[in-house]
């Protein structure tokens, strides 16, 4: 099985590019953001807890997302691997992922990192707010907090995956087609 980590700041285009990646490489797309939003929509106890955190631009606890990911690893069949979108988002989550995979003698295949500058994050999220209507996209102070959280808690993963020799950075500035071609030319090697 292949385990791709799709990495990048909020608004980098992970969700946009994920569809063509899972199709080309026969992967299961696991977006922790989407999984959490469906818990919220279903009004589950977990969703209720997550809602306030997400709408404040904060992360949900590591154990929550780790549990969601591990149960998907166990239940999803008939794929060549997984595309992890929005997970891991902290060093603790990355270590938990390594431990989960290690139990079955597996490792992360590659971290595919979509990079855009902070100015573009704000521009893209403002645009998406009008289209998707996500509560955490609507308020500038919440977006600002997500960017801060990204720099403080998630960005250290770049060094983590560089050290493990798994880091592959892709320029996320350009048209959707241009970025997709850059991703494919990097991922085709795995």
Considering only 3, 4, 10, 124, the residue that binds ligand ADP (CB under 6 A) is: 10
Rounded Cα gap, residues 19 and 80, in angstroms: 15
* Choices 72-80, 86-94, 161-169, 178-186; region in contact with ligand ADP by CB under 6 A: 86-94
Q: Which residues contact 9 (CB under 8 A, 6 or more apart)?
A: 115, 116, 118, 121, 147, 150, 154
How is the beta sheet containing 2-7 ordered, strand by strand?
A: 27-31, 81-85, 2-7, 110-115, 167-171
Among 33, 73, 83, 97, binds ligand ADP (CB under 6 A): 33
Phi, psi (rounded to 5 degrees) for 110? -165, 150
User: CA 176, CA 80: separation in Å to the nearest integer?
Assistant: 24
Between CA 4 and CA 85 the distance in angstroms is 9
Least gap, CB of 146 to ligand ADP (angstroms): 5
Among 93, 97, 166, 179, binds ligand ADP (CB under 6 A): 93
- Options 87, 114, 147, 187; binder of ligand ADP; rule CB under 6 A: 87
CA dihedral 43→47→49→52, nearest 10 degrees, is -90
The yes or no reply on residue 32 touching ligand ADP (CB under 6 A) is yes
Within residues 120-159, the interface with ligand ADP by CB under 6 A covers 136, 146
Position among 5, 21, 30, 65 found at the interface with ligand ADP (CB under 6 A): 65
Is residue 13 part of the contact set for ligand ADP (CB under 6 A)? no
Binding residues vs ligand ADP (CB under 6 A): 10-11, 14, 32-33, 36, 53-54, 58-60, 65, 86-87, 89, 93, 136, 146
């Amino acid at each position: 099985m292949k385990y791709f980590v799709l990495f990048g700041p909020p608004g980098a285009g992970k969700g946009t590019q994920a569809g063509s990646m899972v199709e080309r490489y026969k992967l299961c797309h696991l977006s922790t953001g989407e999984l959490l939003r469906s818990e919220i929509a279903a009004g589950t106890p977990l969703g209720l807890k997550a809602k306030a955190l997400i709408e404040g631009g904060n992360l949900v606890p590591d154990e929550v997302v780790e549990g969601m990911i591990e149960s998907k690893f166990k239940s999803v069949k008939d794929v060549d691997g997984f595309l992890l979108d929005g997970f891991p988002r902290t060093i603790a989550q990355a270590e938990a992922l390594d431990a989960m995979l290690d139990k079955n003698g597996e490792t992360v295949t590659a971290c595919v990192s979509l990079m855009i500058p902070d100015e573009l994050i704000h521009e893209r999220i403002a645009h998406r707010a009008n289209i998707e209507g996500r509560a955490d996209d609507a308020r500038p102070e919440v977006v600002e907090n997500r960017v801060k959280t990204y720099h403080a808690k998630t960005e250290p993963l770049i060094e983590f995956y560089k050290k493990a020799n798994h880091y592959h950075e892709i320029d996320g500035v350009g048209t959707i087609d241009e970025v997709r071609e850059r991703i494919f030319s990097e991922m085709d090697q795995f």
